[in-house]
Each structure stands twice: as structure tokens, then as C-alpha cells.
Amino acid sequence: MRPLDLTVLAIYMCALVGIGVRFARKQQTTENYFTANRTIPGWAMGMSLLATIITSVTFIAYPGASYAGNWSLLIPGIMFVLVLGLIGFVVVPFFRHVVHMSAYEYFGKRFGSFVRLYSSFAFAIGHFSKMGFVFYLLALTISGMTGWSVDLVIIATAIVTVFYTMLGGVEAVVWSDVVQGFVLWIGIIISIAYLLFLPPQGPQAVLHDAWSHGKMSLGETSMHFDKPTIIVLVIYGFFFYVQKYTADQTVVQRYLIAKTDRSAFRGMVLGASLCLPVWTAFMLIGSLLWSFYRLTGEKLPATLVKSDQVFPHFLITHIPSGLAGLFVAALLGSAMAMLASDMNCLSVIGVEDFYHLARPRSTDRERLRAGRIIVALSGFAAAAVALRLAHHEGAALSLYYTITAIVAGGLAGLFLLAFLVPTANRTGAIAGIVANLLFTLWATLTLGGKTVDLGRFNFPWHDYMIGAIGHVILFGVGYCVSVLTPRDVAVASDLTLLGWRARQRTLAAEATISVI
């Protein structure tokens, strides 16, 4: 890192920490710490969603994936927008009126405490993995630019981020995210411009070279399910983002912090509409990197053994001093903001779904203190995951998709069962959870015959399919068992789609009458 880059980086990090410190003084209650008293404007909430979704996985792994292959791994991102169009107008206001802080309160109201605890735990496991990837890729980038040890960077980043997160609540996270969004686009535009105009052949030649060699292809159109074809990635992306919108605390928490239902939905639309162009831009960067080194004949150092390292190398060797520092600052800031958001969310469910249930008479101050402790524990646990990843072979984005598919926990299927099936009961939900866990265990152990080889009884498809099939199994088994077993004690009718829509129509009619 050059001196000017380091100066820009230091100033930027101090500014982010300053935002956290400014809002830290207001964090006196769990309501403020976890939901900002529901005072965040919709546009700021949308920018925060963008920063929550766009992490170092995007900054580094997306260019790495397209540099090494094509744009096939962009397909799940396309489903992010499509799923919002299908369910967002119902799900956003529904959660704002059904839960207080934790998304998993809904499962507790619908199926009881056991299902609530299971869904909270499944979310926590999945997000430990996600946070581990963010720590890892951030450290990989900084190591490539400075030569510092990846392990040392992971540990140091964990310490700083945990400290920052414990100081500020979700309000500090959101306003830091707003800054990130603007700086992010500056970095993207600068990088694409240099990749297009630095080669002597010019922008047209760079784009044509990438296109003609299939570097912008979305992948195979065959109907094979044993490799990451388009159909496999569509299925993975659909269920992954159904789960995101319905059973992911980091997204549901964004619904809760907005001022009104309308501003919450508009914020979600803004965030989703910004995410897809950013993902596409980073895929384009990877393809342009491939053409850049091919057309210029420039050799990459032998020390670059992973495709994820190519983009950081380009930044530090070809982007002018100062501008490279700004881009790296956006990378660091985005990673820290996302990690802070995830730690805050894990703290929410730790307090609301575990601590509060175990100690129902605890004071708000005690719950706030427990929340800060959970922030520290979750941050350091994620750093441990990152240390393990640092010594694992393979492209980061592919590994990320694999792990998130396997540890999905069937939460999308659980939500669909609870929301769409009025007759679904606790026995059915638990049976579906058990069936999903047994299937996931079998599929993971027999995948490729690497751990357990059962011959023709091995899981035959690609690992991205494990999570999607698990959601379907949980829903199907839960539905069948619910039909065959007695119904639970009556639950509130507005906890299902039909009941919720009926309640909305009644409220609308009452509002019309009152106006008349």
C-alpha cells in the first residue's frame, strides 16, 4: 500500500468509527440498539440493505468467479429481484405488524417455542459461515496488497469490528451503510474505466474479447442437476432469497427500522434494484480483468494462486495512488458495516429468542448487556471460521454458495408452511424439520462419495441443490403430517396469508367508513 492510499484508508476508517461513536451515546435501550426506534427513512433503509447484501464476497469473489469462468453465479442475484416482486408487497407489512424485534417470533407464535429456537439456531449457524467468508475475503485482499499474514489480518479485523459494533447500534450501522453506498459506486466506475481504457487496443476490443470467449455467458442451459447449470442456480437462488425475505433476521430487521409500511417497502425495492447492478458490475470487472491481462500480455505473479486475488492485485498495481485507497476503504468499510449488521442481528435473536425466554423477568438493561456480550462472542466465532477458510483450497464464491445451501435449515420451507397452510400444526412443523435434517445429513455425507460412499444411493445432484430440496421436504412432510394429526390450539387467524389478507381488507373497510 502506498502512503497516500494508507492516508485515505485511515481517514475513511476514522470517519466510520466516528459515526459509530456518535450514535453510541443513544444506545440505552434494546429498542434503540436493535430497531433504532423505527425512525429510519425508507431510502436510507434501502441503502443499508444494499450494504448488508454487498460484502467482500461481492468485492472479491464475484470478479474472481467471472475471471476464472463466466457469469453463471450471477443468476442467484437475479432471483433476488424477482422474489421481491413476487412476495415483497405482502411480506414486508406482515412482519412489521407480527413481530417486535426477532423474525423468529413469528415461528414461535405459529408453532411454539421449540420451532422458534430451531429457526433462530439455523439462522445463527448460517450467518456464522457468512461472516467467516467476509472476514476471510477481507483478509485475503489486504494480505495481497500489503504482504501481511492472512491470519493476523483476520484476528486484527475481528478485534476492531467487534469493538465498533459493541459501541454503535443498528442506527450507526445504517448511516455508515449510506456512506458506503456512494463510495461503492465511485470505486466501481473507476475500476471499470481503467480496465476498459488502459489496454492500447481500446474499450471495444476489451469488451469484444471477453464476449467472444464466453466470459459474459450465464452458463450451461442443459437440464442437468449434477453441476451448476442455469436451472440449478435458478432453483438455488429462488429458495435462497425466499429465505432471505422471510426468515433472515438481517433483512427482516430492515423492515422493522423503517418509519412506515410504505417506506419499508420502498426501501426494499430501492435496495434490491441497486444490488443487481452492483453484482453485474463486479462480474463485468472479472471478465474485463481476464481480457486486460490477455490483451496486454502482462504476467501475473506466481504468488497469485487463487482467482480471488487477481482484482486486488490489479487495484494496487494499476489504479493511481489515492483512488486505490478509496476503493480499498470502501471494501473495508462495507465488510465492517455488514459484519456489524450481522453481529447486531445475532445479538437480537440471542437476546430475544434465547436469553429473554430463559430469563423472562430480566430488565431491559440486563438484556442490553447480554446483547453486547453476544456481539463479541459471534464476532470472534466468525473469525475462527475465517481462519479455517484461509487454509482451504477452492474459489470463495463457490464455497460460499455450497455452505449456505447446506446450512439453510429449511427455513424457507418452514415459513411457507406456516404462512400458506392454515391447518399446519406444531407436530407437522417438527416432523418437517426432522425430515429436512435427516435428508441434509445424508446428502452432505454422501455427496460425491467423499465422506460416505453408498454407491448408487449417494446424493446424485450438485451441492447447491441440497438446501432447495430440504425446503421442499420440510414443507411437504410438514403438510402431510399436519393433515394426519389433530390441529393445535387455535392460533391467531392473521398469522397466515388468508387471515392476514382478510384482516387488511377489514381494516381498509373500517378506514373508509371512518372517513365517510
Quickly count: other Cβ atoms within 10 Å of residue 501's Cβ.
13
Q: How confident is the model over 112-146, as pLDDT tens digits? A: 889 999 898 888 877 777 788 778 877 877 776 66
pLDDT mean over 364-391 = 85
CA distance 503 to 488: 21
Q: What is the pLDDT of residues 192-203, one digit of tens each?
A: 998 999 888 889
pLDDT at residue 511 tops 70: no
pTM of the entire predicted model: 0.82
Please state the rounded mean pLDDT for residues 216-222. Answer: 78
pLDDT at 396 over 60: no
Q: How confident is the model over 313-349, as pLDDT tens digits?
A: 888 788 887 777 777 777 777 777 778 878 888 888 8
Q: Please report where in the chains the cell 426468515 appears, as a residue.
A: 247
Most confident of 198-202, 233-237, 478-482: 478-482
Q: What percent of the chain has pLDDT over 90?
A: 15
Report the amino acid identity of residue 41: P
Query: What is the length of the chain?
Result: 516
**pLDDT > 80? residue 214:** yes
Phi and psi at 74, nearest 5°, equal -80, -20
User: Is the pLDDT reported for residue 399 higher than 60?
Assistant: no
Three-state DSSP state, 78: helix
pLDDT of residue 418: 93
- Which one has a higher pLDDT value, 51 or 94? 94
DSSP code, position 394: S
pLDDT at 484: 92
User: Is the pLDDT assigned to residue 474 strictly greater than 70?
Assistant: yes
* Residue 136 identity: Y
**pLDDT tens string 301-322:** 887 777 877 888 888 788 887 7
Q: For residue 150, what pLDDT is reported?
A: 84
Query: What percentage of the chain's residues is helix, strand, coil (to nearest 5)?
Result: 80, 0, 20
Is pLDDT of 406 > 70?
no
Work out the average pLDDT over 456-475: 88
How far is the C-alpha of 298 from the C-alpha of 292, rounded, in Å?
8
Cα gap 96→91, rounded to integer Å: 9
- How many C-beta neighbours within 10 Å does residue 509 have? 10
Picking from 334, 343, 439, the residue whose alpha carbon sits closest to that of residue 128 is 343
Kindly tell me if the per-residue pLDDT of 488 is higher than 80.
no
- Residue 425: predicted pLDDT: 92
pLDDT-based confidence at 390, cuts 50/70/90? Answer: confident
Q: Give me 274's grid cell.
A: 441497486
CA distance 381 to 158: 9
pLDDT at 401 exceeding the cut of 60:
no
* Average pLDDT, integer, range 472-500: 87
Task: Give the pLDDT confidence of 36-58 residue by residue, as tens digits.
Answer: 788 888 888 888 888 777 776 67
Domains present along the chain, CATH in parentheses: 3-407 (1.20.1730.10), 408-516 (no CATH)
The closest alpha carbon to 431, from 142, 16, 92, 115, belongs to 115
Closest CA to 206 of 192, 188, 189, 190: 192
Q: Mean pLDDT of all residues in the chain? A: 83
Q: pLDDT at residue 13 above 80?
A: no
225: left (phi over 0), alpha (psi -120 to 50) or beta: alpha
Picking from 45-54, 247-256, 423-432, 470-479, which range would have the lowest pLDDT averaged per residue? 45-54
